[in-house]
Chain A
Amino acid sequence: MADQLRKENTNTIGLKRNDYTGRPTTLCKGCGHTSIANMVVSACFEMNLPPEKIVKFSGIGCSSKSAAYFLERSFGFNGLHGRMPSVAEGALFADKSLVGIGISGDGDTANIGLSQFKHLVRRNVPMVYVVENNGVYGLTKGQFSATAEKGLTLKRQGENPYLPVDIALEAIAANASFVARSFAGDPKQVKELLKAAISHRGTSILDIISPCVTFNNQDYSVHSYSWVKGHDAPLHELEFVAPRDEITLDDFERGSIKEVTMHDGSVIAFKKLAREYDPTNRTEAIKMLEEAIRKNWLITGLIYVDPDSPNIYDMYPIGEKPLNRMPSEKIRPDRKSLELLNQSLM
């Protein structure tokens, strides 16, 4: 009982959940982003991550502001609109042991930042990339983003004439090694997916539908609370099990479980729902997303994962000691080398 209490209040590195919180939010009341920020706090707390080991990155927009509303004890870089991926990619070279968490929005990722998004994915830079997707620009007061569905009507903009960009499909097309979709109104699923994403050793894309209560929460909009509640088609129920924890899945019956072992030894356990779905099969993932578009489903869960896909560090011969802790004598070649070089140029 005492153990249980300790477990609830402090994690194995002796920190409280409060040690993972951020600045008070300035987002609208009921914003899905706030719920996601809370789940980042919970996931990092429950995974016993030292906050100083986490680095937050974000671009510009409501979503990107939210990076300040969790993990105040972590470094963070709120950069330019659509350019979060490049800043993260450069920074993470400095110390391979850092855990990168990027927070972006649908405009930041699917409009201005589509190129950087896809190239980050293609290079498989190890980091979590959360898209807080509401289909609308909030800070500029309600314009369509590239993920807004065709036919959506907004007060000042009229009807959206364009077809939407599907972030999960774009990620898979760019050879993503981890793609998931969730809904801010389903915090348990968001948290489990975040944990799995953190333990993945490549880019983890989490497309989270996060309704904008001010500009786009109309019942018929695919980015609204009520629409998602009526169209959510979960692929599975899932639970993340850290490497050192024994697999004891309270809610899951063993017979109905599929497990995927992650690179670090952790396990994602899936409880099969009505349909059979194998998240390690890329072709099936693409088919599923296509089917969802046709049938007007919002597929949630882990859509695709390849736990052993090589990441960017596998492509560069840099050592384990953080580059940013290299002493000067390790980064300046010696005098003799310059003498030899000069001779070769004579």
Chain B
Amino acid sequence: MGSNNPKINDFGITFSTINGSGSATANNTIQKAIFRMGIPVSARNIFPSNIQGMPTWYSLRVSKDGYLGRLEKDDILVAMNPESVIRDIGNLNPGGVLLINKNIAITDIRKDIIVHSMPVDELLKSSDVSSNLNIYLANMVYVGVLSYLIGIELEKIESALDQHFNGKKKAIEPNLHVVKKSFEWTEANIRENSPYSLSPMHATIGKIMIDGNSAGALGALYGGLQFSAWYPITPATSLAEALNDFIPHLRVDPETGKTTCAVVQAEDELAAIGMVIGAGWAGLRSMTSTSGPGLCLMSEFLGLAYFTEVPIVVWDIQRVGPSTGMPTHTSQGDLSFSYFISHGDKDFVILLPGNMNECFDFGWQALDIAEKLQTPVIILSDLELGMNIWMADPLQYPDKEIDRGKVLWEDDLEKFAKKKQKEWSRYLDVDGDGIPYRTIPGNLNSKAPFFTRGTSHDPCAGYSESPEDWEENLIRIKKKFETAKLISPQPEMIDSGNELAIISYGSTDMPVKEAIVLLGNESIKTDYMRIRSLPFSCEVEKFVETHQRIIIIENNRDGQMKQLLCVNFPEHAAKFISLAHSNGLSLCAHWIVEKVLSEIVPEVK
């Protein structure tokens, strides 16, 4: 077949391998090499909840226009796993290319695709590399074959390997050797031109590549995090591990050689958040990271932190629930749970990062917001953002000084009494914003200590079951969330006065931005708002007021953001149209476009 007009810098590749076979090195090398050719590239790891042996996929999208959303179908398939090969081939677009390990025997192959067989074993044998590495190096064969076929520059492969192995020649050389051997074999044996190819661009100059969990951990460390406790859970584990990796580099006091941030692996999520609350109460910037099941366990403690007014940050890297669900698959299903978490009346600040830079920024901003308001802040990321490596702008140094909020040390207590004309007590609202002043353990002024309790208390922190004390206290606490609306990240908006609008949040921003362009091509003009925090700010309210029909697009079954909008803006409820979907994968722009055109546009018109 072959084409004289190859599709350049705009296609998708899926690598189908076996979990635990070491394909991550090969896959990440390809992603990095393409990135270093200046071409926008995104990649998703679709992996099973398993250590070794089950099928795993790595889907890479090359997009000259910079679209990062998932593609539904593949243009190129690298098939290394006999177990999934039939299904994988079925997912190729007509005219697509199949690179298949020669070992995999299949019959009745589709006639509308191009098939190249890769002699993996022979190439490894002739490469003369240590046989105990074969299982890992087998993946380097497809790196070489693919590099020749679509035009990945070998020097970029080499530099990516060099970075991956931290310059260790012993590791780089055998890998590179297999890549070169396979490249040469392809050159000699595959005559057809590939219908898909790469051409260097300049679109990634100055960009970085990072995963959301690392970006979040770094944000926290630049935000002055001092204590974190956590319990292992997919897909949040790598956030805490990134803290441990970066602390020795970023958070050692040069004067003492001691670290200024402690990380404890707790016995469970109950203990993790308990420790974090203890630390936050005692004046440490403190945070935990978890996923849905862990957040469920934390719900009682979150109510305590809300009511005792302890600043903490909780990262939820969402996966598919309820129950154990699909631990290695992405979702935006924890939104309404986070919003309403814990019993009784309460409010929570929720931040919704939509990209790597926001994972970093919200990472430090959340600590400021929590301490300023003396309340828990929940950051809802997801597996899509957290565990995949994305192209991003360089991380920006915080543009604000660290804000520790209303904390009184020994001398401050005396100054407070003079300035405010009254003695300090813990839950007294002297500024009218509902945010009281706090002292923290270690303060040796004899007026500083107070008894923190989860039971009802008066403004002086004394036990009280008086109806007035209870109600006044909770009404005061609610006031803090008016400030929350002002200091939390405001929505990102494209408002051109269209009647039809789209709302989304978090990782769903990626396919939505692409879908908006595609809809525009179909003459469907829409405005757009990406919500970046809860409670809803005035900006959100204004956007809702000024649009006639609003489609809320999200990755969960019930349309949870739509539900929250209805609860908060009941007078506008009739405007809202939910476009929600959850199957463990991130949304695709084409699915959004198809749904809007087939179901929503006819209804709106």
Contacts and interface: CB of A to CB of B under 8 A. Distances in A.
A337 B271 CA distance: 33
B440 to A, nearest CB: 6
Contact of B450 (A75, A79, A87): A75
Contacts of A78: 451-455
Given A90-B274, A331-B285, A338-B222, A52 B452 contact: no
A330 interface: yes
A1 interface: no
Given A323-B260, A332-B223, A338-B395, A91 B281 contact: yes
Q: Which of B259, B272, B462 has the most CB of A within 10 A?
A: B259
A93 B284 contact: yes
Given A87-B278, A323-B262, A75 B449 contact: yes
B192 to A, nearest CB: 35
Contacts, number: 206
A242 to B, nearest CB: 21
A328 B264 contact: no
Interface stretch (B106-114, B206-214, B377-385): B206-214
Interface in A84-143: 85-95, 97-98, 115-116, 119
A346 interface: yes
A332 B210 CA distance: 21
B339 interface: no
A50 B286 contact: no
Contacts of B325: none
A116 B442 contact: no
Contacts of A274: none
A73 B448 CA distance: 8
Interface stretch (B10-18, B62-70, B397-405): B397-405
A116 B267 contact: yes
Interface stretch (A39-47, A244-252, A312-320): A312-320
Given A51-B449, A116-B274, A89 B264 contact: yes
B257 to A, nearest CB: 8
B442 to A, nearest CB: 4
Given A80-B274, A90-B277, A94-B441, A331 B250 contact: no
A128 to B, nearest CB: 16
A119 B226 contact: no
B258 A319 contact: yes
Interface string A315-346: 01111011111101011110101100110011
Nearest to B214: A345
A328 B264 CA distance: 22
Size band of the A side of the interface? Answer: 35 or more
A324 B282 contact: yes
B359 to A, nearest CB: 13
Given A90-B282, A98-B441, A83 B274 contact: yes
Interface in B450-474: 450-455, 462-463
Given A78-B453, A78-B454, A335-B397, A345 B284 contact: no
A318 B266 contact: no
Nearest to B360: A338
B221 interface: yes
Interface string B239-280: 000000000011101001111111010111011111111111
Given A52-B443, A116-B274, A345 B279 contact: no
Nearest to A332: B224
Interface string A155-196: 000000000000000000000000000000000000000000
A346 B221 contact: no
Contacts of B446: 51-52, 73
A73 B251 CA distance: 34
Interface string B182-220: 000000000000000000000000111110000000100
A238 interface: no
Interface in B335-385: none
B271 A116 contact: yes
Given A50-B444, A80-B304, A88-B278, A323 B284 contact: yes
Contacts of A116: 267, 270-271, 274
Contact of A331 (B218, B251, B443, B463): B251
Nearest to B449: A75
B599 interface: no
B283 interface: yes
A55 B283 CA distance: 13
A57 B452 CA distance: 9
A34 to B, nearest CB: 17
A27 to B, nearest CB: 13
A94 B442 contact: yes
Given A50-B444, A80-B454, A83-B274, A333 B251 contact: yes
Contacts of A322: 442
A91 B260 contact: no
B365 to A, nearest CB: 13
Interface in B149-185: none
B442 A95 contact: yes
Interface string A22-39: 010000000000000000
A325 B253 contact: no
Nearest to A57: B278
B441 A338 contact: no
Chain B CB within 10 A, most for which of A89, A90, A98, A331: A90
Contacts of A53: 444
B254 to A, nearest CB: 10
18 contacts: A51-B446, A52-B443, A73-B446, A75-B439, A78-B455, A80-B454, A83-B271, A86-B266, A90-B227, A90-B279, A94-B440, A116-B271, A317-B257, A324-B441, A330-B260, A338-B222, A341-B218, A346-B207
Given A75-B450, A88-B278, 16 more contacts: A50-B444, A68-B451, A75-B439, A78-B453, A78-B455, A86-B274, A91-B441, A92-B278, A119-B266, A317-B257, A323-B226, A323-B262, A333-B251, A337-B249, A345-B208, A345-B210
Interface of B: 206-210, 218, 221-227, 229, 249-251, 253, 256-262, 264, 266-268, 270-286, 300-301, 304, 308, 394-395, 397-398, 401-402, 404, 439-446, 448-455, 462-463
Interface pairs A-B: 4 shortest CB-CB: A86-B274, A90-B278, A90-B275, A94-B282
